[in-house]
Amino acid sequence: MKQYTELQHKKVLVLGLAKSGVAAAELLHELGAFVTVNDSKPFEQNPQAQSLLKKGITVICGRHPEDLLDEGFELIVKNPGIPYNIPILQDALSRELPIITEVELAYHISEAPFIGITGTNGKTTTTTLIFEMLQQGHRNPLIAGNIGTVACSVAKDATEDQVIVTELSSFQLMGIQEFRPHIAILTNLYDAHLDYHGTFAEYAEAKFNITKNQIESDFLIYNANQQVLEPYIQRSKATKVPFDSEKRTNIGISADEQMIYWEGQPLLERSIIALPGKHNLENILAAVAACVLYGCDKEKIKEVLKTFTGVRHRTQFVREWEGRKLYNDSKATNCLATKVALDAFTEPTILLAGGLDRGHSFEELRNSMRNVKGVVAFGQTAQRFIDFAKTCGVQSTVEAENVEDAVEKAAKLSERGDIILLSPACASWDQYPSFEVRGDKFIEAVNKL
């Protein structure tokens, strides 16, 4: 860990706990700051706050006192999920108090450089691919951010011969000042988190923060097929590396039906890739570009692409059963994610879908239902999804009690050569506490077939 003395003897407020808040508070305490933690969860129900208090950190729980900022804080480190429109943060902004997230702390103490990955979709798959490729290539990577351990916890023990591969959300990136990844990746931009950011423009600006501090010796890898990115890409001072999944190009990384190319020259054959889907080809191109720039051996990259079948709960190949291939895409909690999953397959598909009823339309899926021969629906939206599937001309529709029941019914409905795909297009909370639990139940049921 670098010797970072800027916060020594300074009063710092950590707003919100969870994993990132606890890690930030402990690190700040270690760096010699006078730390106060403020969390809305009552102290007696807050084991994390109790643990911090035992370490000598001031803890205020159960509410956000209106006069808290009168104590003379010089910095606020906030949990990324806390919106800026709450009164205490509005007060902080009016006082021109700097507000950061723990990723900024990680950057200041890390001896290792960063590879930062952001975008609306594909972050986790791209991050995982990069980590796996660099690991296979003996480049000594670490993984952090949304996908793994809190970044500042990883950075504490990182050495200069390592690299921290970090998945970054727009929430995290809004709270950076000097954070500068050596390689930044912007996978794509679509409307998302507008309840937090307010407008697409504000959301895009937050994502652009990943490259705002980069210089010419750094690299920005971005999706050349998205025109919406152009105004932001042009503002970056980094060396630009576009990826194009639609045609062969002479700059950056690109692909046609047969090959992946680096600066127009053949790099590897697409036939070796185990991970299905056009969206995953984009993720692969971004990941391969990062690893090439980082000096990873081509053969090591190929080894990963031959065996990597997906991140858990994200179009994850589970097993083949009696000629059917079964995939877990429980992370698909909205129609866009399910649309992307359906478009990844050309085989006849049995779709398992449904869940929490938020009243949203399924119409966005219509053009992607062309290969769906059967639907097994569950949860609050089961009947609505079945009604929609019938208007799309789906041959067979069945209602199931839950995901486990849906697997059994899909097995009976399917034939050899079919894809059985769990991609719910809905949140899980009507029947399961999280999409992870829903996906785990699917995997258990699949393995019992």
pLDDT digits (tens, 9 = 90+) for 395-413: 999 999 999 999 999 999 9
- pLDDT band (50, 70, 90) for residue 78: very high
Q: Is 140 annotated as a binding residue?
A: no
Digit-coded pLDDT (tens) for 203-249 = 999 999 999 999 999 999 999 999 999 999 999 999 999 999 999 99
Q: What is the 3-state secondary structure (H, E, C) of 291-343?
A: HHHCCCCHHHHHHHHHHCCCECCECEEEEEECCEEEEECCCCCCHHHHHHHHH
Tell whether residue 124 is among the known ligand binding residues. yes
Query: How far is Cα 314 from Cα 277, in angstroms, rounded to an integer?
Result: 12
Q: Is 120 annotated as a binding residue?
A: yes
* Number of CB atoms found within 10 A of residue 94's CB: 9
In this predicted structure, the answer to whether residue 146 has a pLDDT above a threshold of 80 is: no
Residue-level pLDDT at 253? 98
What is the spatial distance between Cα 159 and Cα 2, in angstroms, rounded to a whole number?
9
Indicate the domain borders of the chain.
Answer: 11-100, 103-307, 316-448
Amino acid at 97: L
Mean pLDDT value across the chain:
95
Instruction: Write out pLDDT tens, residues 279-308.
Output: 899 999 999 999 999 999 999 999 999 999
Q: How confident is the model at residue 255 (pLDDT cuts 50, 70, 90)?
A: very high
Q: In what order do the strands lie in the sheet with 58-61?
A: 58-61, 34-39, 11-15, 75-78, 99-100
Region 345-357: mean pLDDT is 96
Dihedral over Cα of 358, 359, 362, 364: its sign: negative
Give kind and range of the element (H or E) at residue 173.
Answer: helix 170-173
Residue with tokens 């930044």: 184
* Domain 11-100 shares a fold with domain 316-448: no
Q: Any known ligand binding at 123?
A: yes
- Whole-number pLDDT of residue 121: 85
pLDDT at res. 271: 95
pLDDT at 360: 87
Which numeric CATH code is attached to 103-307?
A: 3.40.1190.10
Sign (positive or negative) of CA dihedral 288, 290, 293, 296: negative
Report whether 128 belongs to an annotated binding site: no
Listed in sequence order, the residues at least 6 apart from 195 whose beta carbon sits closer than 8 Å to its beta carbon are none
Task: Give the pLDDT score at 414.
Answer: 97
Q: How far apart are CA 92 and CA 99, in angstroms?
A: 8
Model pLDDT, residue 196: 79
Model confidence band, residue 147 (pLDDT cutoffs 50, 70, 90): confident
pLDDT in the model for residue 116: 98
Given this model, what pLDDT does residue 50 score? Answer: 96
Residue 197 reports pLDDT greater than 90? no
Give the CATH H-level superfamily of domain 11-100.
NAD(P)-binding Rossmann-like Domain (3.40.50.720)
What kind of fold does domain 316-448 have according to CATH? Protein-Tyrosine Phosphatase; Chain A (3.90.190)
Confidence at residue 190, expressed as pLDDT on a 0 to 100 scale:
83
Question: Which amino acid makes up residue 77?
Answer: V
Rounded Cα distance, 272 and 232, in Å? 34
Range scoring the smallest mean pLDDT among 104-118, 135-149, 227-241: 135-149
**Least confidently predicted of 18-32, 179-193, 258-272:** 179-193
237 in Cβ contact with 204 (< 8 Å): no
Mean pLDDT of 55-71: 93
Which percentage of the chain shows pLDDT scores above 70?
Answer: 100
Check residue 194 and give its pLDDT.
74
In 3D space, the residue among 379, 393, 386 whose CA is nearest the CA of residue 330 turns out to be 379
Spell out a b/e string for 68-92, using b for 16 or more CB atoms within 10 Å of the CB, else e.
bbeeebebbbbbbebebeeebbebb
The span from the CA of 97 to the CA of 91, in Å, is 9
| Nearest of 368, 436, 359, 372 to residue 403 by alpha carbon | 436
In percent, the amount of the chain with pLDDT more than 90 equals 88
Task: Supply the pLDDT for residue 62.
Answer: 93
Give all strands (DSSP E) within 40-83, no chain letters.
Answer: 58-61, 75-78
Chain centroid to CA 217:
26
Q: pLDDT-based confidence at 336, cuts 50/70/90?
A: confident
Residue 223: name the closest of 107, 91, 120 by CA.
120
Is 72 annotated to bind a ligand? Reply is no
The amino acid at 320: E
pLDDT at residue number 198: 81
Quote the CA–CA distance of 417 and 198 in Å, as a whole number: 45
